[in-house]
């Protein structure tokens, strides 16, 4: 059991970014959760059903300027999967019945009140609730040309062949080992709502197309930062990691983004240090938890310990919604 005193101490350290009770008056209280998402199997992230989404970015360091084309993981791909997982967690732990159907969400559970919901068809006199969890599109560190495979399946045979004109093209596959540095930001959230987001992030391991049953992801939680403004963006993080890797390996930026593999340990270390450097350089009003406190929180996220805590928040969320609608 986590000593209450220790948790109180951690809550105190994060107090600039949290609210004690849910409020309907937006304030500037932010908690940033720094995460590295690492693919551990093939995954499909696509918006048109077939092609990976690719953008072009420019990265500079003192002597080199380079364009590269990372693949991206849209914000919706992350929220959709996390919301589904969060609702399932509440169902398992607390028997809370809610749904992912847009206009049929219960609007009053911990998950709906935190992630927001559209006005319901079934519940009378409800309003839409604005989400207080912000995800942004995440970028791969490497170029799409080295991390994505186009697969073709020959009809009617069952072998794979590339560049076959009669073949059926399958959706683009992201290879295992692909990494996305990213930040999840909570606004005006309670400490328990933060624990809920951390539980989801730690335990959810499937992202991407639901029907494919692939897309195994390990979410490494690298830091929790609280303050009166948002932290660095996913874009700054990813380009910063490329610069650090080039510096460490004494290679060009272009060589880094076309490597066939990346060392996870190095990327974890650099993601954290890029975030910390940017906070200092841009004089952001944000403070991070020390490693020991972060581990204390992550160790506490067991079903056994969270059940009662989430139950209490779930009741508080319903009470809050009833008081404003």
Smallest Cα–Cα separation from 71: which of 95, 90, 46? 46
CB of 105 to Zn ion, least distance (A): 5
CB of 111 to Zn ion, least distance (A): 5
CB of 110 to Zn ion, least distance (A): 8
Burial of 273 (0-12, 13-18, 19+ CB in 10 A): middle
The size of the interface with Zn ion (CB under 5 A), counted in residues, is 5
Structure tokens at 115: 């992630």
CA dihedral 75, 76, 81, 83 (to 10 degrees): 100
Structure tokens at 25: 């008056």
User: Looking at beta carbons only, is 167 or 316 nearer to Zn ion?
Assistant: 316
CB of 309 to Zn ion, least distance (A): 18
Q: Are 180 and 73 in contact (CB under 8 A)?
A: yes
CB of 108 to Zn ion, least distance (A): 6
User: Looking at beta carbons only, is 98 or 242 nearer to Zn ion?
Assistant: 98
Binding marks (x or -) toward Zn ion, 55..94, rule CB under 5 A?
Answer: ----------------------------------------
Q: Judged by CB under 5 A, which stretch of 63-71, 106-114, 225-233, 241-249 contacts Zn ion?
A: 106-114
CB of 252 to Zn ion, least distance (A): 50
Site membership for Zn ion, residue 224 (CB under 5 A): no
User: Looking at beta carbons only, is 34 or 98 nearer to Zn ion?
Assistant: 98
CB of 292 to Zn ion, least distance (A): 35
Three-point CA angle 216, 222, 223, nearest 5°? 135
User: Looking at beta carbons only, is 118 or 309 nearer to Zn ion?
Assistant: 118
User: Looking at beta carbons only, is 87 or 272 nearer to Zn ion?
Assistant: 87
Q: Which residues, 6 or more positions from 280, have their beta carbon under 8 angstroms from its beta carbon?
A: none
Site membership for Zn ion, residue 113 (CB under 5 A): no
Site membership for Zn ion, residue 106 (CB under 5 A): yes
Q: Judged by CB under 5 A, which stretch of 61-69, 105-113, 152-160, 263-271 contacts Zn ion?
A: 105-113
Q: Are 105 and 151 in contact (CB under 8 A)?
A: no
C-alpha 168/C-alpha 183 separation (Å) is 37
Site membership for Zn ion, residue 246 (CB under 5 A): no
User: Looking at beta carbons only, is 67 or 101 nearer to Zn ion?
Assistant: 101
C-alpha 103/C-alpha 123 separation (Å) is 10
User: Looking at beta carbons only, is 34 or 105 nearer to Zn ion?
Assistant: 105
Site membership for Zn ion, residue 112 (CB under 5 A): yes
CB of 109 to Zn ion, least distance (A): 3
User: Looking at beta carbons only, is 117 or 137 nearer to Zn ion?
Assistant: 117
Site membership for Zn ion, residue 98 (CB under 5 A): yes
β strands within the chain, DSSP E: 30-39, 57-61, 64-68, 70-73, 133-134, 138-143, 148-149, 152-153, 168-169, 173-174, 179-187, 217-227, 286-288
202-213 burial: b if 16+ Cβ within 10 Å, else e: bebebbbbeeee
Q: Mapping DSSP to helix (H, G, I), strand (E, B) and coil, where does residue 208 land?
A: coil
CB of 203 to Zn ion, least distance (A): 19
Site membership for Zn ion, residue 109 (CB under 5 A): yes
Q: Judged by CB under 5 A, which stretch of 96-104, 170-178, 190-198, 280-288 contacts Zn ion?
A: 96-104
Q: Which residue has the tokens 């494919």?
A: 212
8-state DSSP, 136: -
Distance of CA 49 to the CA centre of its chain: 22
Q: Residues in the site for Zn ion, rule: CB under 5 A?
A: 98, 105-106, 109, 112
């Amino acid at each position: 059991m986590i000593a209450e005193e220790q948790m109180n101490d951690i809550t105190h350290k994060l107090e600039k970014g949290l609210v004690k009770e849910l409020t309907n008056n937006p304030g500037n209280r932010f908690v940033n959760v720094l995460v590295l998402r690492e693919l551990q199997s093939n995954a499909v992230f696509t918006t048109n059903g077939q092609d990976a989404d690719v953008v072009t970015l420019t990265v500079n360091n003192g002597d080199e300027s380079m364009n590269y084309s990372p693949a991206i993981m849209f914000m919706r791909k992350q929220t959709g999967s996390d919301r589904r997982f969060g609702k399932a967690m509440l169902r398992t732990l607390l028997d809370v019945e809610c749904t992912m159907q847009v206009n049929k969400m219960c609007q009053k559970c911990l998950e709906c009140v935190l992630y927001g919901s559209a006005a319901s068809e079934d519940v009378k006199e409800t309003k839409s609730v604005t989400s207080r969890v912000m995800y942004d599109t995440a970028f791969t560190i490497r170029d799409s040309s080295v991390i994505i495979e186009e697969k073709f399946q020959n009809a009617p045979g069952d072998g794979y062949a590339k560049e076959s004109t009669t073949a059926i093209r399958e959706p683009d596959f992201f290879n295992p080992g692909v990494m996305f540095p990213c930040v999840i930001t909570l606004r005006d959230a309670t400490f328990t709502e933060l624990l809920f987001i951390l539980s989801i992030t730690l335990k959810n391991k499937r992202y991407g197309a639901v029907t494919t049953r692939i897309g195994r992801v390990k979410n490494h939680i690298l830091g929790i930062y609280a303050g009166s403004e948002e932290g660095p963006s996913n874009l700054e993080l990813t380009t910063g990691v490329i610069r650090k890797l080039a510096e460490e390996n004494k290679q060009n930026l272009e060589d880094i983004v076309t490597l066939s593999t990346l060392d996870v340990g190095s990327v974890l270390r650099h993601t954290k240090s890029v975030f910390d450097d940017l906070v200092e350089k841009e004089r952001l009003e944000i403070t991070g938890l020390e490693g020991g406190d972060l581990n204390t929180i992550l160790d506490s996220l067991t079903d056994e310990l969270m059940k009662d805590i989430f139950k209490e928040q779930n009741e508080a969320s319903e009470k809050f919604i009833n008081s404003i609608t």
